[in-house]
Chains A and B, each alone.
Chain A
């Protein structure tokens, strides 16, 4: 036996699992075919946040007069914006390498393939440097993540030139004059927000009847209004029929309510979800159950094949880095014979557009669909002192309580910096707080977080400032 645990994939699920395993005294190796940190850190969460910070700052410069300030000849240097984003990713990539070394996790660069074995499948790695290494371990965790879903049937396959995936959209050499974003999930909306701030004419196409379809309906509606105020246009309930290339750009035919429409633009970004990286791992031969590009697991990540586990994007939605890390830690603790708790904790979701959107738990509609009698609270940020002082009065906070028990079952926010606040509600839900506990919590003044208190109070008719 070479290792107690081999982790395949060094994204936020895999590398966190490896560190936790090392902490628990397991001899651990991690196999990565590309870069430590995975998509999240190199091509996702982190570099886009760097881009969006530039866009947000630029947007602020556009209305400095609101704050009694003046700036002239404001402009941006796209190359420098992108370079900063790559530098940030590079810094964090090096940070993961350091963490692996510090925790004595063996890093193996190459492409892994599994073969049947006991007590766990054998991991055969085609090394980046050439040659092959065979790893025998007591347990193997698959954390190979996912990649962008593409729609080649309608011509929406990234070509790096006129059709971009997130990867090309993150390192642009130009700001397209006009841009079509296909898909209005978090990724699509963030790119729409970024390019709009830099001056693109942006149209977002969504097949479902509303944008940000996983969010609460009121949040979707408010978000669309806020983005439209910034000049983004939307086509909802619109399915993509065909993409054609014209002389200088693209022509995308969409159909909404039976009426076809052709949208012209310079570039299209495809952000229509993801597919799991299940190929090339030898899963078929092992008999691993795969459904809709995701490995089927139990709540601990067990695949049903002795010694083989799967976590993160590979194991199904929600496709979020923090969900992958959480599952990774849980899976390792379970393997190590501990009794981890907390996999039932609600998973927050964030969209870093301008304004930001953050949510945790059930939407009002989901709670009602579960048969709960609900109490709903709302608080508009324009009634919050700190928000007024900061010039961020756009947005609101909404809470959903189970009327029978007083348990907080969901919270939804749109507005400035709400992604930094949602953890308060996540913590409350994980600790099974009731309305009484939220009432009893002291929120500091003056902060926008006071609105979280008010939104809880409002659900029970007790809001102070509305």
Chain B
């Protein structure tokens, strides 16, 4: 005897409608037989059985809404019943008990569009609408999974807007095993519960790492001229009480490089590639319990003093969780700087729907061979991680060349 579980039709699906049973109690089911139709607000899918057995019970009635992923929907019995049932694909395809195939052709939803009720408080609905968040992409922490204010605020605090579920059926990731199953005894660890921000960071970065074809491009840039320029700039700005950091210069150079190579300032969407008209630079700021990416908008048009003041203000308010949603939602390109921790080189995960992220390492004195001579120069290693769907290798390389030229000849930033 074994249970067939509600499958996930997309990575973000949490529940669906059991639209129709295609089998009844007593039916023999063979591998490949269609057994049910499952609906989300996006599509209708047919579920196939892989193994054989006799339907002993249908546990969920036709037309039931809000059936949670992984809840048992039917029970198979008989000598031929499959041994294992789990909705997750195992590495060996043959042992997958249930496969999901798009109904061909995709049927029109039996239940009218919009009738699938999302449990969310009135305030949560309003806040989500104001912040442009998709409620179906949020996890509710209220009674019965109701989405409440804190869930929306946590999602809004996480980098970028909540993503609309992908319409293509992707197998759900395997559910994580419990700590006990993993062999950690209960007294050997302290469990930190997942708060909304950590959940959102985990979900979005997992989706990004899994769904986006990342590739990194790394170069060294010489920053002696930049450092000299910075000290001149700072002595000039001192009377105004403004101090420009290397990171502010990197933001400025990245913005100008995006202007020079607009193909690198791009987002992949199902409708097409969006080429952004402005360089809205998201800067990653570590905060208690997660990270957040406040945005310097139209950085290509801004002076260094303006960028420095804005970056300082945003970082400070990010740490105090005082950012307004529009200050960290959107953005076209991200910069993550771990130089202050002495990190020499690293590659970040893309902050979707952006097309690239620049990882900035520490500036350090290194031996450089120039004209056959070994000389000492201050070098900084940067890595551009690109979404290959929008930025091909040559574009990424061109962008890095433009960025390097700006950094190494900082005077060109004012041209």
Q: Could you list which residues of chain A lie within 8 angstroms of chain B, going by C-beta atoms?
A: 341-342, 405-407, 431-434, 436-437
Cross-chain contact B127 with A431 (CB below 8 angstroms): no
Shortest beta-carbon distance from B123 to chain A in Å: 4
Residues of B contacting A433 in the complex (Cβ-Cβ under 8 angstroms): 121-123
Shortest CB distance A6–B (Å) = 22
Contact A405–B126 (Cβ < 8 Å): yes
The answer to whether B121 and A431 touch across the interface, beta carbons within 8 angstroms, is: yes
Q: Is the CB of A437 within 8 A of B143?
A: no
Top 3 A-B pairs ranked by shortest CB distance? A432-B121, A432-B123, A437-B122
Tell me the complex Cα distance, A436–B141, Å.
Answer: 23
Contacts A432-B123, A432-B124, A434-B126 aside, 17 further interface pairs with beta carbons under 8 A come to A341-B143, A342-B143, A405-B123, A405-B126, A406-B123, A407-B123, A407-B149, A431-B122, A432-B148, A432-B149, A433-B121, A433-B122, A433-B123, A434-B122, A434-B123, A436-B122, A437-B122
> For residues 110 through 131 of chain B, which have their beta carbon under 8 Å from a beta carbon of chain A?
121-124, 126-127
Interface of B is mostly: helix
> Beta-carbon contacts of B138-155 to A below 8 Å, as 1s and 0s?
000111000011000000
A436, B125: Cα distance in complex, Å: 12
Given the interface pairs A432-B149, A433-B122, A434-B122, the reply to whether A405 lies near B142 with Cβ below 8 Å is no
* Cα A405 to Cα B127 with chains together (Å): 7
CA distance A431 to B123 in the complex (A): 8
State how many angstroms separate the Cβ of A116 from the closest Cβ of chain B: 17
Please give, as numbers and ranges, the residues of chain B lying within 8 Å of A406 by CB-CB distance.
Answer: 123, 126
Assembly CA distance A434 to B121 (angstroms): 9
Q: Which residue of A lies closest to B121 (CB)?
A: A432
A-B contact list, 22 entries, CB within 8 Å: A341-B141, A341-B142, A341-B143, A405-B123, A405-B126, A405-B127, A406-B123, A406-B126, A407-B123, A407-B149, A431-B121, A431-B122, A432-B121, A432-B123, A432-B124, A432-B148, A432-B149, A433-B121, A433-B122, A434-B122, A434-B123, A437-B122
Nearest A residue to B146, CB-CB: A341
Which residues on A sit within 8 Å (CB–CB) of B122?
A: 431-434, 436-437
Which B residues lie within 8 Å of A436 (CB)? 122, 126
User: What are the residues of chain B within 8 A of A342 when measuring CB–CB?
Assistant: 143
Complex alpha-carbon distance, A432 and B120, angstroms: 9
In the complex, chain B residues whose CB is within 8 Å of the CB of A432:
121-124, 148-149
**CB-defined contacts of B143 to chain A, threshold 8 Å:** 341-342
Q: Which residues of A contact B126 (CB under 8 A)?
A: 405-406, 434, 436
Nearest A residue to B120, CB-CB? A432
Most chain A CB neighbours (cut-off 10 Å) among B122, B124, B127, B141: B122
- Write out the residue numbers on chain A whose beta carbons fall within 8 Å of the beta carbon of B148: 432
Closest to A344 in B: B150
Tell me the smallest distance from the CB of B255 to a CB of chain A, in Å: 31
- The residue in chain B whose Cβ has the minimal distance to the Cβ of A371 is B322
Chain A residues closer than 8 Å to B149, beta-carbon distance: 407, 432
- In the complex the two chains form, what is the Cα distance from A437 to B142 in whole Å? 19
- Give CA–CA (A70, B148) in the complex, Å: 55
Query: Distance (Å) between the CB of A306 and the closest chain B CB?
Result: 10
Q: What's the nearest-Cβ distance from chain B to residue A424, in Å?
A: 15
- How far in angstroms is the closest Cβ of chain B from A409? 11
Cβ of A206 to closest chain B Cβ, rounded Å: 36
CA distance A342 to B149 in the complex (A): 12
Chain A residues whose CB sits within 8 angstroms of the CB of B142 once the complex forms: 341
Report the minimal beta-carbon distance from B80 to chain A, rounded to whole angstroms. 36
